[in-house]
Structure 1
Amino acid sequence: MAKGINIGDEVVITATVLKRVTEDRVSVSIPSYGQPHSVVNQTTKLQKGQHIELIGNVTHIQENRVTVNLGTPVTVDAAVVRLVNAYPTRSTPLLDKPT
């Protein structure tokens, strides 16, 4: 299981820009994903080889693989993701005590 990462946490994946597909989309290579991924990017300054950070929430964890929602689910190695914000946990339960 991925240490320090839980379901609902906000994480970052650093991807490399492959090429600009259209005026507002770029194709990126995500480490350990195995196929190109396209993301919306309005800036025209991104060029081939630059790094871009993709932020998403963890939706599934299985051993050393983590699924992150980047608009579409992307499953990568746990070593590729970096924790940004942990999902808040409650110190008190939502249920009332019985009377």
Structure 2
Amino acid sequence: MHEYWQAIRTFSPSLRRFLLASALVTTVAFGLSAVLQNLYLLRLGYDARFIGTVLGTGQLTWAMAALPAAMVSSRVGLRNGYMVGPGLFGLGLA
């Protein structure tokens, strides 16, 4: 972990600000989405067990997709992987 923080200190200030902003926006977006999804499913009349299954399935899907995405990113290069990743994410949402 110490090596990780040392590597981050070598980044330019603008890159560190970009990474921080990206992390904050992503955290807020996914957190808000999860809360609204819970409330929506409750309003539709689903019980807590079903809602937990839906949310758990989504998290499990993210975890399973992260491994192949990491392998592809290491093959094409981290910079290219980071540039292509958000584009693919956007296509998935469309």
TM-score range, shorter chain: under 0.3
**Greater relative contact order, per chain length (Cα 8 Å cut-off, separation 6+):** 1
* TM-score of the two chains, using structure 2 as the length reference: 0.20
* TM-score of the two chains, using structure 1 as the length reference: 0.19
Q: Greater helix percent: which structure?
A: 2
